[in-house]
Amino acid sequence: MKRIEEKPMLERRSFLKISLLAGGGVMFGLTAEHQAVAQGRGAPQVAPDPHNFIKVAPDGTVTILAKNPEVGQGVKTMLPMLIADELDVDWKQCKIEQAPFDESKYNMQSAGGSTATPVNFMPMRQVGAAGRALFIAAAAKTWSVPESECTTSSGRVMHQGKSLSYGELTAKVAELPAPNLATLKLKDPSEYKIIGHSQTQIDLHDIVTGKPIFAIDMKLPGMLHASFERCPVLGGRVVSANLDDIRKLPGVKQAFVVKGPDVQGIPTSYPALVDGVAILADTWWQAQQARRALKVQWDEGAAAAGSSTAFAQKAAELSKQPPQRTLRNDGDVDAAFKNAAKVVEAAYSYPFISHAPLEPQGATARFENSKMEIWTNSQQPGSGRRQVAQILGIPQDDVVLHMVRGGGGFGRRLTNDYMIEAAAIAKQAGVPVKLLWSREDDMEHDYYRPGGFQYLKAGLDASGKIVAWQNHFISYGEGENFVASGALQPFEFPQRFVPNYALHSSVQPLGLRTGALRAPTSNAIAFVIHSFLDELAQAAGKDAVDFRMDLLNQAPAVPAGGSAPPGVNAERMKGVLQLAAEKSGWGKKTYPKGTAMGIGFHFSHQGYFAEVAEVTVTSTGANSHKVKVNKVWIAADVGSQIINPSGADNICQGGVIDGMSELMNQKITIEKGRVQQTNFHQHGMMRMAQAPPEIEVHYLKTAYGPTGLGEPALPPILPAVANAIFNASGKRVRSLPFSDSGFSWA
Amino acid sequence: MAFKLNVNGRTSTVDAPADMPLLWALRDILDLRGTKYGCGIGQCGACTVHLAGQPVRACITTLEMVKDRPITTLEGLSPDGTHPVQIAWQEIDVAQCGYCQGGQMMSAAALLVRNPKPSDRDIDTALNGNLCRCGTYLRIRAAVHKAAELAGAGTTTRSAGAGALRDRE
């Protein structure tokens, strides 16, 4: 079976459905038996009967439905561009609307894993092409001419000087049999008029005029504003609360306890709904004010012993003991270390961090006539809907979701805890409720990027080649189970590129919820691997780019007819490494003392990225170093086609800035089971004056199917900046964030 | 308590506690939801509005502090998106999630009134209190220059690297 990245998914069997809509328009849709594979997220998704993407009104207005949740990744613009181009209409005559949530019609509707492009590039184009074929058929029938003699342009069908608009044909189209998608002719890329051409974000006008389009902006008649107090220790239970006092406070309409499922001990995975106290008021601020007077007696449970200091001590102990498990063992690392000319060891670590999308968590819910209706910015609404039904004990068909724009996602909205809370509160309250988390709630009750420790050892032969690589990875979990996003893949780079390779792991219990943060696992591993690779290059006395190129050249050939191994495709990675080196002028520039370049690359979510950072480090004391990132060069291979260049550049540059925030300032710590950081002043993100003035983005077009950009631009920037800092200052920092080692942005 | 608020040229009476932040009076009472909540402690700037022309954080500005000073929110720049800052933000295709952009635009609009030809450094200083979680800072900088240009002020130091709206194979 070929990987998605090698070839975009094709429908096995599909045909077009048409239905007449109220208002005289026609809807087209794709019906497909669809093996949708969300790369990195497990089981295939089956969507039995998707439909309804395009509506053409008699006046020629084309409405295209965007099926996936929009959280700033630009998918509400990008997916309809694919449809519009193949439909052969002008982008400016299109109106884009968010599709309703209905996975039986639209296939998987989620935002995660940079999957929207590889999963939808082909089917969305087929939807558009099928629409075009129908208008041609309707026109050909009208004129009694062969379809093959008709052409289209800008939403019109033409034949020898005659022409009809799609709007004029829309009623006739409804009577036609559906074309077989498998026989449709798709445009050659040279014919694209919309794909590959920058289009501004679809909601931009609403954003700049302040329209209430975000989840936080929802408003329902009779709605109350809810604030929800959770136990500061995960898994804690409400014993009692001074609810009567709270109910008397200004603006407060209701106050009650919400019970979550019971928690025993320290499980690897916690329930989505936790115990807490809901306060409902006329305004959210009044609910928050009342919360200040709230006194809850908690039974904190087993996680109350959690401590970052203790976790680090335990990890250090575990590193000295035999690993609990071996995840991969190629060759014989011990023998290779004995024969190595040089052995290098280093211990790396990275902390828990919070997603902190700028729009805090929240959802609006109404329980009426046994039906639960929810307005949500979830990145994974389908999973949320199933959980709401299960936790509230109502049939899934009675849970209706509306997808609303999210103010950032970054993986935080893949978990649906806040939406489940809103539903539980609304059901108990008997009135429509808008739940909003405070920033403090958000930072203290996240599904954090798990911290971790990696004890690395590598052997070099006399020529400076890596002959052995060993990693004792220390994470969180129990037995063979890692906490969410707390695992390392056995085929993680440089597995397969080093003849003797061992990945061992040990875990300790956590008592904190963890989850996917933009480029999960990769956001930490790239820093570790490429910092260590630079240490090895230095030990080998080689240039950082040459050393990596040599390593990539060590990939064993894939046997003819054999399936490609998982992980890095060496040729593609060499391509972006070369491009990044070329564009940045690697090795060709002379800098004053304190200024230098650094490089890193990473493969994640099907994207190949190499990045170079140029930094200036100014030390004002032994433990005070100011870092300015002067410029960043991004080289990306995400296949044959960039669909919306403006959106693509934007998200690549944003990924780089996001990664730099993680590198420098972000850390969540726990003591007595409580998260100690409360707001942005303790979990810093990069500000405008700190951002590099220039971030160049270069795409290497290759013959592979187009893949996504939400995640893979982020990971390499951490080691690129870390290595540049070392090259500029001689200071090798092996623990994130760098602020703990006396560094800060200039 | 009853407060008379002059918002975007219209006067409304708001019955709310004196210590209620302006942000919540705008959002939950006056239905002006373009002003966003991000942190509640003046750290992120998503709630930036103009108070007598000065950019302030509405999340830490109480109703009592407003007094009789006129308030301008994002909706008050122009309802149809024709303020130079709004046009520039659209032309440069600044936003990713868009949640912070109202606050960014209010800081930018206030800057351009007092400094019609801002340099990159001027922009960085004026907008440094506005966080963008998506990291659109290069485009924001370019859009402020663009807005200055549109407002007839011309530009001085131009931002490089934003690369907005270029077509590529």
Please, what is the end-to-end C-alpha distance for chain A in angstroms? Answer: 50
Q: Which of A64-68, A175-179, A376-380 has the lowest mean pLDDT?
A: A175-179
Residue A676: other Cβ atoms inside 10 A: 14
pLDDT band at B168 (very low <50, low <70, confident <90, very high): very low
Residue of A104, A123, A108 whose CA lies nearest to A39 = A108
**Residues across chain B:** 169
**Residues across chain A:** 746
Sign of the Cα pseudo-torsion (B84, B90, B92, B97, in order): positive
One DSSP character per residue, A616-632 reads EEEEEETTEEEEEEEEE
- pLDDT of B6 reads 97
Residue of A103, A56, A55, A94 whose CA lies nearest to A76 = A94
pLDDT tens readout for residues A461-511: 999 999 999 999 999 999 999 999 999 999 999 999 999 999 999 999 999
Give B-chain residues touching A409 at CB under 8 angstroms: 97
If contacts are CB pairs under 8 Å, which of residues 174-233 in chain A contact chain B? 196-198, 200-201, 203-205, 207-212, 214, 216-217, 219, 225
pLDDT tens readout for residues A659-696: 999 999 999 999 999 999 999 999 999 999 999 999 99
Residue of B115, B164, B137 whose CA lies nearest to A689 = B137
Q: What is the average per-residue pLDDT within A148-152?
A: 97
Taking the Cβ of residue A373 and every Cβ of chain B, the question of whether any pair is shorter than 8 Å is answered with no
Measured CA to CA, the distance from residue A548 to residue A70 in angstroms comes to 37
B94 contacts A200 by C-beta, under 8 angstroms? no
If contacts are CB pairs under 8 Å, which of residues 338-357 in chain A contact chain B? 356-357
User: Cβ contact (<8 Å) for B133 and A225?
Assistant: no
User: Cβ contact (<8 Å) for B132 and A679?
Assistant: no
User: Cβ contact (<8 Å) for A688 and B99?
Assistant: no
| The pair of three-digit structure tokens given for residue A215, joined into one six-digit string | 């989840």
Give B-chain residues touching A204 at CB under 8 angstroms: 89-90, 93, 95, 98
Give B-chain residues touching A209 at CB under 8 angstroms: 34, 74-75, 77-81, 86
Residue of A465, A494, A694, A700 whose CA lies nearest to A582 = A700
Give the C-alpha distances (Å, rounded to integers) separating A458 from A499, A541, A730: 12, 15, 21
ipTM, 2 dp: 0.93
Q: What is the average per-residue pLDDT within B66-90?
A: 97
For domain A310-352+449-558+565-745, the CATH architecture is 2-Layer Sandwich (3.30)
Q: What is the average per-residue pLDDT within A12-17?
A: 30
Measured CA to CA, the distance from residue A173 to residue A138 in angstroms comes to 6
pLDDT band at A526 (very low <50, low <70, confident <90, very high): very high
Closest Cα of chain A to B115: distance in Å?
Answer: 18
Measured CA to CA, the distance from residue A474 to residue A504 in angstroms comes to 8
Measured CA to CA, the distance from residue A130 to residue A194 in angstroms comes to 17
- pLDDT of A51 reads 53
Q: Partners of B24 in the beta sheet?
A: none
Which residue of A200, A209, A285 is in closest CB contact with B93?
Answer: A200
Q: Which of A414-418, A631-635, A671-675, B152-156 has the lowest mean pLDDT?
A: B152-156
Closest Cα of chain A to B48: distance in Å?
Answer: 12
User: Cβ contact (<8 Å) for B99 and A686?
Assistant: no
Q: Name the average pLDDT for chain A.
A: 91
| All domains of chain B in start order, with CATH | 2-77 (3.10.20.30), 84-150 (1.10.150.120)
pLDDT at A230 over 80: yes
H-run or E-run covering A153: strand A151-153
What is the residue whose two structure tokens read 């739940």? A435
The residue of B27, B32, B39 whose CB has the most chain A CBs within 10 angstroms, and thus the best one to mutate to test that interface, is: B39
pLDDT band at A399 (very low <50, low <70, confident <90, very high): very high
Measured CA to CA, the distance from residue A82 to residue A195 in angstroms comes to 6
**Taking CA atoms, what residue in A is nearest to B24?**
A285
Cα-Cα-Cα-Cα torsion A290, A292, A298, A303, nearest 10 degrees, comes to 130
Give the C-alpha distances (Å, rounded to integers) separating A650 from A304, A523, A653, A721, B162: 42, 19, 5, 20, 8
User: Cβ contact (<8 Å) for B74 and A689?
Assistant: no
The number of C-beta contacts closer than 8 angstroms across A and B is 225
SS3 at position A139? helix
pLDDT band at A589 (very low <50, low <70, confident <90, very high): very high
Q: What is the average per-residue pLDDT within B107-111?
A: 98
pLDDT at A182 over 90: no
Q: What percent of chain A has pLDDT over 70?
A: 92
The residue of A77, A207, A282, A289 whose CB has the most chain B CBs within 10 angstroms, and thus the best one to mutate to test that interface, is: A207
HSE value, Cβ hemisphere, 13 Å, CA-based, for B27: 31
B136 contacts A445 by C-beta, under 8 angstroms? no
Does residue B79 have a cis peptide bond before it, meaning omega lies within 30 degrees of 0?
no
Give B-chain residues touching A655 at CB under 8 angstroms: 135
A564 contacts A558 by C-beta, under 8 angstroms? yes
Beta-carbon contacts of A312 under 8 Å, excluding residues fewer than 6 positions away, are A349, A453
**Taking CA atoms, what residue in B is nearest to A223?**
B28
Residue of A4, A17, A14, A34 whose CA lies nearest to A184 = A14
Give A-chain residues touching B143 at CB under 8 angstroms: none
**What residue ranges of chain A are covered by domains with CATH 3.30.365.10?**
4-207, 215-302+361-436, 310-352+449-558+565-745
| The pair of three-digit structure tokens given for residue A572, joined into one six-digit string | 């593609």
If contacts are CB pairs under 8 Å, which of residues 378-407 in chain A contact chain B? 405-407
pLDDT band at A559 (very low <50, low <70, confident <90, very high): low
Q: What is the average per-residue pLDDT within A364-386?
A: 97
Residue of A534, A472, A489 whose CA lies nearest to A734 = A534
Helices within A622-716 (DSSP H only)? 645-664
**Taking CA atoms, what residue in B is nearest to A250?**
B17
- pLDDT of A16 reads 33
Measured CA to CA, the distance from residue A664 to residue A214 in angstroms comes to 30
Which residue of A210, A216, A697 is in closest CB contact with B102?
Answer: A210
Fold classification of A4-207 (topology level):
Aldehyde Oxidoreductase; domain 4 (3.30.365)
- pLDDT of A19 reads 31
What is the residue whose two structure tokens read 């603006």? A251
Amino acid at A330: D
A83-103 burial code (b ≥16 CB/10 A, e <16): bbbbbbbebebbebebbebbb
Q: Which of A71-80, A91-100, A169-178, A685-694 has the lowest mean pLDDT?
A: A169-178
pLDDT at A40 over 50: no
What are the φ/ψ torsions at residue A498 (nearest 5 degrees)? -125, 130
A305-335 burial code (b ≥16 CB/10 A, e <16): ebbbeebbebbeebbeeebbeebbebeebee
- pLDDT of A681 reads 97
pLDDT tens readout for residues A323-359: 999 999 999 999 999 999 999 999 999 999 999 999 9
Closest Cα of chain B to A301: distance in Å?
Answer: 29
CATH 3.30.365.10 fits A215-302+361-436, yes or no: yes
pLDDT band at A4 (very low <50, low <70, confident <90, very high): very low
- pLDDT of A104 reads 83
pLDDT band at B30 (very low <50, low <70, confident <90, very high): very high
